[in-house]
Amino acid sequence: MTKSFPEVDVVIVGMGWCGGILAKELSESGMKVVGLERGATRTVENDFSVPHIRDELEYHARTGLAQNLKKETWTVRNQISETALPMRKYGSFIPGDGLGGSGVHWNGQTWRWTDMEFKIKSNYVERYGQKFIPEDMTIQDWGITYAELEPYYDHFEKIAAVSGVAGNLNGQIRNEGNPFEAPRKNQYPLPPLKQSLACDLFTKAAKDLGYHPFPIATANASAAYKNPDGIQFGQCQYCGFCEKFGCESNAKGSPLNTVIPVAMRQPTFELRTNSWVTKVLMSKDKKQATGVNYLNTVTGEECFQAAKIVILAAFGLNNTQLMLTSGIGSVYDPVSQKGLIGKNYAYQTGANANLFFKDKIFNPFMSAGGLITVMDDFHANWDFDRSPQNFIGGATIWGGFFNGRPLEYHPTPPGTPSWGSAWKESMATWYQKTMRIAANGSVMPNRYNYLDLDSTYKNAAGTPLMRMTFDYKPNEHRLSTFAAGLIDQIGKSLNPTMMTKPAPRVTPWNAAVYQSTHNTGGTIMGTNPSNSVVNKNCQSWDLHNLFILGSSVFPHNSAYNPTGLLGALSYRTADIIKTIYQKNPGKLIT
């Protein structure tokens, strides 16, 4: 028998960055909010203390902060003609689990997506013509603008203690930052992290070649800091345990040490962990959401939480799965190209090379998730002519490294045996003397890259696994090849003792190899109900009291990391719910 709870104003599915922001903002406004998190409760004090949090076996090898693949995974394939099989071991991407979600184990790199992304189809058609866009590439304008998001970007950066330097401050280009970024009204809350030798070498090489490198903006606090909500941050200790780990010094911006604790102070907010949402329920006329069903994973009890507003704020892939299992909207069909739920799944591409120097000492154990120098000359720079390379999108190129952790970081030159005494000797020789140059590349949507439900496999809750059909297409092959050439050019200019060849990603996508955690698409944003699942306010066209927050609303994937945009969208949506939707509930916000 299902246990029912009294109706509340808002129920939020997922308590990472998006869910935490919505919970904090809406409960502070007086709305009664219930936050449902599938994973367990955790706190910074109890779970991120040393030495436990530096357990590489637990958090790297066994992905201790990630979703349990024995309970929930995905089936994957490259082509429609193939049989999809479950992903049994983490490789390609690592979604978070537990309170705080992926926002706990992220690196902190924070970007502002701009109108170049939001008006992508219009921009490319205007400059290159309609024929430049491949027939099977389903790009579209998002319907939102950078100007609408700018104040919310600014607020998120202040909340997350982002360290960086502006490149475009109120229209004034500043050489120390990214000259291709959109104009900012305020400087970053904190200055950049101290740059390493690897960052300095990359900076000099890129500048000598005429490029514009800068220290990446990152939610790793470069100094002690108090954010607008009164949350105190410690200073980054450059311990090198960022991605896949929680932060021992409270220096990494995370929903677990910012918005969630503030939400939990509110008498109008209730958090329920170990609550696995399995379905969004609808009214008989299917015009509004009435609440969600969830499984209490501790007691096994089936529960129903009624709500006036339902917000899906889980990991992007899980948002799409919930829409599919709930029967909301039309399921995308890649053959007919009809339907929308599951459409425009995208990932990221790239390339990389290791550089070995006999006469350099890099001290890789002193690092941070955002301790890299990056250049944006071939992504946000609209003056960069794509026509000779014939691709849509772009890539950021960076130099440095994120960590030198002993179980994970084993750089060795080409030709080194993969085990044994020769491998040990090579690792000991080159551990301190290696740096990396790499590219993060965008991926454009394709009609044959999509998400749907698997007809064979189910998760521990008894609902179908989501099936991912994805492969890199010729557009991304050309982009990755171009990025590999840039890496090769910059790397060779540094005259390393040895260097690995930067290989472009032109072979079929392999889910067993880590490339990026940045999955997008499935419940995409757009300008009207015929081309999108949600409008620019992240509001469902079909059920006006349903809002979706997460990377599932991105119609394509950028070279940029998604978290800065997710934060801005979440703050904007919360503002709209408080100031507009509440005055006329149940109506579409235009």
Contact partners, residue 445, CB within 8 Å, separation at least 6: 137, 138, 139, 343, 344, 345, 346, 521, 555, 556
Quick check: 277 and 38 in contact, CB under 8 A?
yes
In the set 212, 518, 544, 556, the catalytic residue is 518
CB 195 within 8 A of CB 203: yes
Q: Where are the beta strands (DSSP E) in 66-203?
A: 74-77, 85-86, 168-169, 172-173
Half-sphere exposure of 524 (CA within 13 A, CB side): 36
Residue 502, classified by CB atoms within 10 Å of its CB into exposed (0-12), middle (13-18) or buried (19+), is buried
* Distance in angstroms (rounded) separating the CA atoms of residues 336 and 311: 30
Starting at the edge strand found earlier in the chain, the sheet holding 85-86 runs 85-86, 74-77, 464-469, 450-458
> Does residue 518 carry a catalytic annotation?
yes
Alpha carbon distance 451, 324 (integer Å): 9
- Helix axis angle, 563-579 relative to 17-28, nearest 10°? 20
Within 94-224, strands assigned E span: 168-169, 172-173, 213-215
- CA 572/CA 148 separation, integer angstroms: 8
| C-alpha–C-alpha distance, residues 339 and 532, integer Å | 9
Q: What are the distances in angstroms from CA 29 to CA 19, 160, 264, 430, 587? A: 15, 21, 14, 55, 20
Token pair 């590489």 is at which residue? 56
8 A C-beta contact, residue 240 and residue 403: yes
Q: Which residues contact 243 (CB under 8 A, 6 or more apart)?
A: 105, 106, 107, 369, 402, 403
Q: Are strands 232-233 and 269-272 parallel, antiparallel or unpaired?
A: unpaired
- Separation of CA 131 from chain center: 31
Q: What is the dihedral of CA 32, 341, 447, 79, to 10 degrees?
A: 110
> Is 10:305 a contact under the CB 8 Å cutoff?
no
Q: Is 563 exposed, middle or buried (0-12, 13-18, 19+ CB in 10 A)?
A: buried
Identity of residue 302: E
CB 473 within 8 A of CB 138: no
Let me know: does 427 contact 437? Beta carbons within 8 Å.
no
Q: Which two tokens stand for residue 219?
A: 């939610």
In whole angstroms, give the CA distance from residue 548 to residue 315: 11
Active site residues: 518
